[in-house]
Amino acid sequence: MNKPEVNTQHNVETPHGVLHVTLHGTRTTRRPAILTFHDVGLDSKSCFSPLFKFEEMQEIVKNFTLIHIDAPGQEEGAAAYPTGYQYPSMETIAEMIPAVLQFFNFRTVIGVGVGAGAYILSKFTLANPDSVEGLVLINIDTNARGWIDWAAQKLSSVTSSLTEQILSHLFSQEELSSNTDLVQSHRERISKASNLINIELLWKTYNSRRDLNIDRNCTFKCPVMLVVGDQAPYEDAAVECNSKLDPTTTSFLKVTNSYVFLFSPAKLTEAFKYFIQGMGYMASSCMTRLSRSRTTSLSSSYSMDGSRSRSRTLSQGSQGGQMPPSPSQTMEVSC
């Protein structure tokens, strides 16, 4: 008999303060939990609901426990921090995550992070490689801000409101110029947030991040899937990150919009299922092939018994793609 699903909120004590965490799904420790971390200007609900409520994602939701972490003071309805409050650094927030795993009695997780959340999960993974079985990094920037970026940010802080600065982090210039309903809804939500001072503190902390110093000799020990939106503010940074990672354990997925959860949930869901299958989970899951453009290629090394076979390239028109690729692959998809 299946255990009932739970959807509960918790305040988890850590060595560096309290984290608001939402637990969802079938509570089981036989598989890693899927642990998410949101971006600046969002909380776990506004960031991940479009993806994990997507119909085709329910197969994953039913098979894994979801642990959604809110950065300090970012959860909906959080009280505003007092003037002069010392907000934790990116490194400190990453150091709070092990206490969450211990609280829920999970030994390992599959991390899913967006923007600032992707950076935090990267820090956590580098410091705790045995705790992470796989990592999905969306719109990641592993670099510290350079002097030019720092100067541009200083100028922006004078000429633009906090809300507009964050919107330019979340959306491409084209999307901002179009001023879509989605952009307008986020503008209204952020500008009217009761914890706007908290959002500003996280924004400043993220902009003060240090370089992760990732390269082929100092990298993640687990499979990684990088996802970035076409013309997203951090598209170049994600491409650069991809060049620094081990190509035999890295997948790279490019989608057409910056806000990948809302505009490309089907593509992201299917890629995520392939990613999970490559780690040996959900082997019986029903799959369809990812749509491929003329420029798409899929280079992978796999065999039916899970052992490595010779590498081959599947281009448009190939009849490949019927088997889920293992983590030992580099995948570039434009969809």
| pLDDT level of residue 328 (50, 70, 90 thresholds) | very low
pLDDT at 258 over 80: no
Global pTM reads 0.83
CA dihedral 240, 243, 244, 246 (to 10 degrees): 150
One DSSP character per residue, 14-39 reads: ETTEEEEEEEEEE--SSS-EEEEE--
Find, among 294, 301, 307, 296, the residue nearest to 325 by Cα: 301
- Residue 307: is its pLDDT beyond 50? no
Q: pLDDT for 286-298, tens place per residue?
A: 555 444 333 333 3
Q: Distance between CA 237 and CA 169 in Å, rounded?
A: 13
- CA atoms of 88 and 214, how far apart (whole Å): 23
Structurally, what CATH architecture does the domain formed by 8-289 represent?
3-Layer(aba) Sandwich (3.40)
Find the angle CA(235)-CA(240)-CA(244) to the nearest 5 degrees: 145
* Least confidently predicted of 24-28, 72-76, 205-209: 24-28
| pLDDT tens string 114-124 | 999 999 999 99
Q: What is the pLDDT of residues 6-33, one digit of tens each?
A: 689 999 999 999 999 999 976 666 899 9
